[in-house]
Copies of this chain bind each other. A is one copy, B any other.
Amino acid sequence: MTTRQRILDASLALFNEQGERNVSTNHIAAHLEISPGNLYYHFKNKQAIIFELAMSYQQRVLTVLEVPEERALTVTDKITYLQGILSGLWDYRFIHRDMEHLLAADDQLKSHYQAFFRQCLQRVVAIYRGLRTAGIIALNDDDLNSLALNTWIVVTSWISFLRTHLLAQGGQPENMLQLQGGVYQVFALERPFLTEAFRDEVVALQQAFAPRPQWLHSLF
């Protein structure tokens, strides 16, 4: 693997674990046992590393959100989408931790991200339209748009919600289970719009993602 790629991988891992704020370029170099000069030979500054990671993240998410045109959507599709997005968010979780800072520090990243968000929202809308066409949910366009936006907000906030409100240290195994709770939570958004024909089936599926009692009951 090239040094350049090793820098990206190490940066991503360290940013995720400790937060971008707490990881300096010197830390990254030391972790890789290379010199700071070497790091700066491959990237002109820290922003450039972040920018590249953010591009990978966006590509990952957009790939997950592709909408099949030739066939109708199924309930399983929806789960696949959610799991894909949640695992993408997890793998790049440093990005949503203080995105305001990342965007404020890099105009190029900001415009890229805002375009990316529009694309995402359009695809989420398209997915819900697909579910409506498939007869799985029933709602008007206003409700659908609001649902799409609320879904986006809940999904993208879910990880930081977990990390701030629940388990203290960011142990991965524990959180991976809780991560699935995001699926449950989004299903709860859609549930009232389910058609009678699909309600029982979907609700049964949702239960598979029900948060484990040990932390759910500690909430309510």
For residue A147, CB closer than 8 A to chain B, the reply is: yes
Bound state CA distance, A98 and B191, in angstroms? 31
Bound state CA distance, A156 and B158, in angstroms? 12
For residue A135, CB closer than 8 A to chain B, the reply is: no
List A residues 87-103 near B (Cβ within 8 Å).
Answer: 97-101, 103
Contact yes or no, B192 A21, CB < 8 A:
no
What does the 1/0 interface line of A159-176 toward B look like (CB < 8 Å)? Answer: 011011100100000000
- Give how many copies assemble into the complex: 2
Tier of interface size on chain A: 35 or more
Bound state CA distance, A118 and B165, in angstroms? 9
* Min distance, Cβ A100 to any Cβ of chain B, angstroms: 5
Bound state CA distance, A184 and B149, in angstroms? 12
Partner of A164, one of B100, B145, B193: B100
List A residues 5-45 near B (Cβ within 8 Å).
Answer: 19, 21-22
Contact yes or no, A168 B110, CB < 8 A:
yes
Contact yes or no, A153 B146, CB < 8 A:
no
Bound state CA distance, A218 and B115, in angstroms? 11
Contact yes or no, A158 B153, CB < 8 A:
yes
Using Cβ atoms and an 8 Å threshold, which residues of chain B touch A153?
153-154, 157-158, 161, 185
Ordered by A's residue number, 21 sampled pairs between the chains whose C-beta atoms are within 8 Å are A19-B98, A19-B100, A21-B98, A97-B98, A97-B100, A98-B101, A100-B160, A100-B163, A100-B164, A114-B165, A121-B219, A122-B220, A143-B191, A143-B192, A150-B154, A153-B157, A153-B161, A153-B185, A154-B154, A157-B157, A192-B192
Bound state CA distance, A17 and B61, in angstroms? 31
| A-B contact sample (17 more), CB < 8 A, given A22-B101, A97-B100, A117-B165 | A19-B98, A19-B104, A21-B21, A97-B98, A99-B164, A100-B160, A110-B168, A113-B164, A114-B165, A147-B188, A149-B219, A150-B185, A150-B189, A154-B154, A156-B157, A157-B157, A189-B189
